[in-house]
Amino acid sequence: MSSIKNLLQSADWKAEKHVPAIEAQEKITKGQVFEITVTVGKQIAHPNTTEHHIAWVAVYFLPNGEKFPYQVAKIDFLSHGASVQGPNTSTIFSEPVVKVSLKTEKPGSILACSYCNIHGLWESSKDIIVE
Ligand SMILES: [Fe+2]
């Protein structure tokens, strides 16, 4: 029997182009807004064509010791070069970069998930300390 948890792949984002790279301060101030940037293909560019592209990125926050994550954002990337002339003809391409702002009074983990239309689901996480 399949389970979605068995389909989530992870790796070092510096060596694998599908992994969402999470950038954020490691220590944040309690209740103060901080920025999170998630990039797919930060070190090794992922293809961005009509046939092969990153379709979406979702960002979650899981406070330490809690069971259920909070969804912070989900961004669909919808322009991949297609036009009325055909695939890869528009010159318009969404780039798989997400910037969101968040505040929390709880320490925890930022979790990110990306979806490649060919290579499936990828995940990564980053721990946040609250001062
Ligand atoms: Fe891919």
DSSP string, 44-90: SPPP-SSSS-EEEEEEEEEETT-SSPEEEEEEE---BS-BTTBTT-S
Q: Which residues are catalytic?
A: 16-18, 46, 52, 116, 119
Cα 67 to ligand 1 centre (Å): 30
* Tokens matching residue 120: 């499936």
The average pLDDT across 37-60 equals 97
Q: Cβ(37)–Cβ(24) under 8 Å? A: yes
How high does pLDDT run on average in the chain? Answer: 96
User: What is the predicted pLDDT for the residue at 59?
Assistant: 98
Q: What is the CA radius of gyration of the chain?
A: 16
The average pLDDT across 25-45 equals 96
User: What is the predicted pLDDT for the residue at 1?
Assistant: 75
- pLDDT digit string, tens, across residues 87-129: 999 999 999 999 999 999 999 999 999 999 999 999 999 999 9
Cα 43 to ligand 1 centre (Å): 14
Q: What is the pTM of this model?
A: 0.94
